[in-house]
Chain A
């Protein structure tokens, strides 16, 4: 099983460019999440989707939008990239029941110049 697949793995953007990070899971999970990881900090939640058709803001949503395209796919969009959005982005999914843990993708390293 592929689990959680993120594309691309690396990307360099110029300030002001737009970009969509893709995430897909094949585990029939209900909930999906987007995190960012900055040096010296743990992962912080950007947006999440508790179930297909719903999305909610997390801790650091400013500058991002998301789309839960279907049960499998959850994309993260940067409309006008800023250097402060340089980070490693992780997508995760979870079955949605009580103590079930999140399963993570391998991350996307995004640099904005």
Chain B
């Protein structure tokens, strides 16, 4: 069975600085997808970024980028130029190539301080 682990329950960062959130996963699959979702206090689940395991190039979306290390089964999220609106719970999630079911980590609560 697949598992996803986020070892940082809470993190904080100063506005405009860079922060990295960690995520590791365990799977025997070779093809799969990884996601980062953001959950602000409004409780919405918002897709931040996604990565296909067969792609070696790390995904980027504006200020958000990932460091995907397939051999190490690591998938960290880097937020550059942090903004107050980035304050949220961040979830790492794994999806097998088929089926579409997501397996979530426990989440990291990020606070961006002015």
Most chain-A Cβ atoms within 10 A of its Cβ — which of B33, B44, B102, B103? B102
Bound complex: CA of A33 vs CA of B102, how far in Å? 9
Contact with A along B17-46 (1 / 0, CB 8 A): 000000000000000010101000011110
Among the listed A42, A58, A103, which residue makes an inter-chain contact with B107, where contact means beta carbons less than 8 Å apart? Answer: A42
Are B101 and A45 in contact, CB atoms less than 8 angstroms apart? yes
Interface residue count on the B side (C-beta < 8 Å)? 25
A83: which B residues are within 8 A, CB to CB? none
Report the bound CA distance from A98 to B98 in whole Å: 7
Contacting residues, chain B, for A45 (C-beta < 8 A): 101-103
B80 proximity list for chain A (CB < 8 A): none
- B97: interface (CB < 8 Å): yes
Interface pick from A13-21, A62-70, A88-96: A88-96
Residue of A nearest to B1 (CB): A59
Q: How far is the CA of A100 from the CA of B100 in the complex (A)?
A: 8
Pick from A58, A100, A104: contact of B45, CB under 8 Å: A104
Chain A residue numbers with a CB within 8 Å of B33 are: 98-99
B50/A43 in contact, CB under 8 A: no
Q: Is B99 an interface residue (CB 8 A)?
A: yes
Q: A99-B33, A99-B52, A101-B47 are in contact. Are A50 and B100 (CB under 8 A)?
A: yes
Q: How close is A83's CB to chain B, nearest CB, in angstroms? A: 21
Contacts of A98 in B (CB 8 A): 33, 97
User: Judging by beta carbons under 8 Å apart, are B43 and A96 in contact?
Assistant: no
Knowing A88-B43, A104-B45, say if A42 contacts B100 (CB, 8 Å): no
Given pairs A43-B102, A94-B100, A106-B43, 12 additional interface contacts (CB within 8 A):
A31-B100, A40-B9, A42-B104, A43-B45, A44-B104, A45-B103, A48-B100, A90-B45, A99-B50, A100-B100, A101-B50, A102-B102
